[in-house]
């Protein structure tokens, strides 16, 4: 029983972080049909920027986090200006290719600035063990769940309540109709990329807090794919549920069956989902009125 709770908490932590990274991914796909292969690099940059804030500028973590988010917004806007805007009207596949280029570019920038050595991340969240229902777990994991959960909740409010959030979903639905009501598609794209960079940065900081910071963090970006395929590429709730399911699944498989298998289990699920329900658990089926 203790093991079960332990694994559940570990799974939830990973799941919440995966959900954050997936949220940004889904957002970009939803608003612009672009599959962003640079999502993992966004995570990486977020983790390193946070690292610099804490170590090089020795700021308190709250201020550091806010500044990291601002940098993320800057990156999002820059990507929209420099990469997406020149490609408006080009086939989507060109834009997707551009994101692959972007991922190499970002990775190179990171290794130029911070080097390739993995570094210890100053624990900005206390990691002293806490006892929960008989299991022992680092407090940092609980914090990660709380922070990720809180962010997801805020983003959900943003999408259903705020004008800007609703406009974003409107653009995802019908770009031209959205333009006809004065919604600036360029601005919405910049928003989408900024939010994607922000969620990834928070995810990156949280992962780094637990495992340290190094270039291999970008690999986390790859694990977003099973999540979004499971949840549905264009579904925000799907990203959250998918993240939690994949996180738990990896933890249980790792704990009960064996390490190693947990690395591939999510991709096995990915293939199964693609065979059975290609639009995912919550993906939008095309609404057809008869």
When asked if residue 181 is in the footprint of another protein (CB under 8 A), the reply is yes
When asked if residue 182 is in the footprint of another protein (CB under 8 A), the reply is yes
Stretch that binds another protein, among 41-49, 68-76, 174-182, 214-222 (CB under 8 A): 174-182
Q: What are phi and psi of 137, to 5 degrees?
A: -145, 150
| Residue count of the chain | 290
Site string for another protein, 78-97 (x = CB under 8 A): -----------x--------
Determine the Cα–Cα distance for residues 26 and 32; give it in Å rounded to an integer.
Answer: 10
Q: Report in angstroms how near the CB of residue 195 gets to another protein at its nearest.
A: 18
Q: Report in angstroms how near the CB of residue 277 gets to another protein at its nearest.
A: 18
When asked if residue 239 is in the footprint of another protein (CB under 8 A), the reply is no
When asked if residue 160 is in the footprint of another protein (CB under 8 A), the reply is yes
Determine the Cα–Cα distance for residues 87 and 174; give it in Å rounded to an integer.
Answer: 19
CA 213 to chain centre: 16
Determine the Cα–Cα distance for residues 203 and 227; give it in Å rounded to an integer.
Answer: 14
When asked if residue 174 is in the footprint of another protein (CB under 8 A), the reply is yes
- Selected from 158, 175, 255, 279, the binder of another protein by CB under 8 A is 175
Q: Report in angstroms how near the CB of residue 83 gets to another protein at its nearest.
A: 19
Q: Report in angstroms how near the CB of residue 87 gets to another protein at its nearest.
A: 14
Which positions ≥6 away from 233 have C-beta within 8 Å?
26, 29, 30, 279, 280, 283
When asked if residue 287 is in the footprint of another protein (CB under 8 A), the reply is yes
How many C-beta atoms lie closer than 10 Å to residue 227's C-beta?
A: 30
Helix, coil or strand: residue 263: helix
E strands, the chain, in order: 129-132, 135-138
When asked if residue 166 is in the footprint of another protein (CB under 8 A), the reply is yes
Q: Report in angstroms how near the CB of residue 225 gets to another protein at its nearest.
A: 23
Q: Report in angstroms how near the CB of residue 68 gets to another protein at its nearest.
A: 30
Measured from the CB atom, is 128 or 163 closer to another protein? Answer: 163
Q: Which helix (DSSP H) or strand (DSSP E) does residue 176 occupy?
A: helix 175-180
Measured from the CB atom, is 183 or 224 closer to another protein? Answer: 183
Structure token pair of residue 95 = 């834009």
Determine the Cα–Cα distance for residues 232 and 193; give it in Å rounded to an integer.
Answer: 19
When asked if residue 131 is in the footprint of another protein (CB under 8 A), the reply is no
Which 97-126 residues touch another protein, going by CB under 8 A?
none
- Angstrom distances, CA of residue 269 to CA of 9, 62, 167: 21, 37, 33
Measured from the CB atom, is 89 or 258 closer to another protein? Answer: 89
Determine the Cα–Cα distance for residues 94 and 80; give it in Å rounded to an integer.
Answer: 14
Stretch that binds another protein, among 118-126, 129-137, 164-172, 190-198 (CB under 8 A): 164-172
Interface ranges with another protein (CB under 8 A): 89, 160, 163, 166-167, 169-170, 172-184, 284, 287, 289
């Amino acid at each position: 029983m203790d093991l079960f709770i332990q694994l559940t908490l570990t799974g939830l932590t990973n799941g919440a972080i995966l959900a954050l990274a997936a949220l940004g991914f889904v957002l970009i796909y939803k608003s612009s049909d672009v599959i962003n292969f640079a999502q993992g690099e966004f995570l990486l940059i977020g983790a390193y920027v946070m690292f610099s804030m804490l170590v090089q500028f020795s700021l308190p973590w709250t201020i550091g986090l806010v500044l990291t988010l601002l940098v993320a917004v800057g990156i999002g806007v820059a990507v929209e200006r420099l990469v997406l805007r020149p490609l408006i009207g080009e086939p989507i596949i060109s834009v997707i290719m551009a994101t692959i280029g972007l991922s190499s570019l970002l990775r190179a920038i990171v290794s130029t600035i911070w080097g390739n050595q993995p570094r210890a991340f100053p624990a900005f969240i206390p990691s002293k063990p806490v006892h929960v229902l008989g299991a022992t777990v680092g407090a940092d994991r609980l914090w990660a769940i709380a922070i990720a959960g809180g962010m997801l909740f805020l983003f959900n409010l943003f999408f259903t309540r705020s004008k800007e959030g609703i406009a974003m979903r409107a653009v995802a639905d019908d770009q031209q109709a959205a333009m006809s009501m004065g919604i600036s598609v360029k601005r919405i794209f910049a928003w989408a990329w900024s939010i994607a960079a922000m969620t990834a940065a928070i995810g990156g900081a949280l992962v780094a807090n637990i495992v340290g910071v190094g270039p291999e963090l970008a690999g986390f970006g790859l694990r977003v794919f099973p999540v979004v395929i499971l949840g549905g590429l264009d579904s925000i709730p799907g990203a959250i549920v998918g993240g939690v399911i994949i996180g738990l699944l990896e933890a249980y498989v790792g704990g009960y069956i064996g390490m190693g298998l947990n690395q591939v289990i999510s991709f096995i699920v990915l293939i199964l989902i693609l065979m059975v329900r290609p639009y995912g658990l919550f993906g939008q089926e095309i609404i057809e009125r008869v």
